[in-house]
């Protein structure tokens, strides 16, 4: 579905991505884990068209898309759920969801409504708050809303930047259970996470990133046995 080949991105003089390559097969959940500053957000931002890579390719269903701007990326099927969620506090939950559907506003309204119902089925708690201002939701529910908004554009690939950020352990569990459901539904997801343990719980394939490069890759069951991964990312010596 999505392939990233030898991607390089700079922030001014900071060479944040130094030749990153990986694949996200259709229907899979692929996770990139790594410490603060490893380049994970830069990677997602580059795939989503927010940053311009100076070398390398982003290939979606066989087509190179790395030169497209963020809005065109959404239309092509790449939807980013950003770090810190970026919910519109004063708008209702429903209007925030509708914003995610903007590439389809000119299209079939009934279809948009059906998708909204699917999202409410996925996140029943949101359904009870559709008319409420989104700013009043808890952090966990705002994360669910951000994911729901991302799904409203009917993405081919959903990019998730640190969904566990700032959430209590119980809520992290809830969010990752939802991601598991998304995966079972066949949604293709690229997740970046500092919380390696949570990421390994849901991912089909995990890439470990450090200082702008992929250092290791493998299935979660393989990586969990790797001593370097245990020491650096899973808190076991």
Among 2, 4, 39, 167, binds ligand ATP (CB under 6 A): 39
Residue 144 · residue 79 · CB < 8 Å: no
Rule CB under 6 A: say whether 166 interacts with ligand ATP.
no
How far apart are alpha carbons 41 and 29 in whole angstroms? 17
Nearest distance from C-beta of residue 194 to ligand ATP, angstroms = 6
Among 28, 41, 76, 79, binds ligand ATP (CB under 6 A): 41
Nearest distance from C-beta of residue 55 to ligand ATP, angstroms = 16
Choice between 181 and 194, CB closer to ligand ATP? 194
How far apart are alpha carbons 34 and 234 in whole angstroms? 11
Choice between 41 and 76, CB closer to ligand ATP? 41
Choice between 17 and 112, CB closer to ligand ATP? 17
Contact flags string 173-212 toward ligand ATP, x per CB under 6 A: ---------------------x------------------
Task: Return the closest-CA partner of residue 121 out of 46, 182, 162, 53.
Answer: 182
Choice between 126 and 203, CB closer to ligand ATP? 203
Strands (E), the chain: 2-11, 14-24, 29-33, 55-60, 63-64, 78-81, 157-161, 189-193, 205-210, 213-218
Rule CB under 6 A: say whether 90 interacts with ligand ATP.
no
Rule CB under 6 A: say whether 84 interacts with ligand ATP.
no
Choice between 14 and 52, CB closer to ligand ATP? 14
Work out the angle between the directed axes of helices 109-122 and 169-184 (0-180°, nearest 10): 130
Size of the site for ligand ATP (CB under 6 A): 14
Task: Return the closest-CA partner of residue 3 out of 18, 33, 23.
Answer: 23
Residue 31 · residue 201 · CB < 8 Å: no
Q: Which residues bind ligand ATP (CB under 6 A)?
A: 11-12, 14, 16, 34, 36-42, 83, 194
């Amino acid at each position: 579905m999505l392939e990233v080949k030898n991607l390089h991105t700079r922030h001014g003089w900071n060479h944040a991505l130094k030749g990153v390559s990986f694949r996200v097969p259709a229907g899979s959940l692929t996770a990139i884990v790594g410490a603060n500053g490893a380049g994970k957000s830069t990677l997602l931002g580059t795939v989503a068209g927010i940053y311009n890579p100076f070398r390398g390719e982003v290939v979606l269903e066989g087509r190179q898309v790395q030169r497209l701007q963020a809005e065109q990326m959404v239309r092509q099927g790449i939807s980013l759920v950003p770090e810190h969620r970026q919910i519109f506090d004063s708008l209702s939950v429903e209007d925030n969801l509708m914003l995610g559907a903007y590439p389809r506003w000119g299209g079939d309204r009934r279809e948009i409504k059906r998708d909204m119902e699917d999202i409410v089925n996925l996140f029943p708690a949101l359904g009870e708050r559709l008319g409420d201002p989104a700013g009043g939701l808890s952090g966990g529910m705002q994360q669910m809303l951000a994911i729901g908004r991302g799904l409203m554009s009917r993405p081919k690939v959903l990019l998730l930047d640190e969904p566990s950020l700032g959430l209590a352990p119980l809520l992290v569990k809830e969010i990752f259970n939802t991601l598991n459901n998304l995966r079972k539904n066949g949604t293709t997801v690229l997740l970046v996470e500092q919380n390696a343990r949570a990421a390994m719980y849901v991912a089909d394939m995990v890439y470990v990133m450090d200082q702008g490069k992929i250092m290791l890759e493998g299935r979660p069951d393989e990586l969990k046995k790797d001593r370097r991964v245990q020491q650096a990312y899973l808190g076991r010596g």
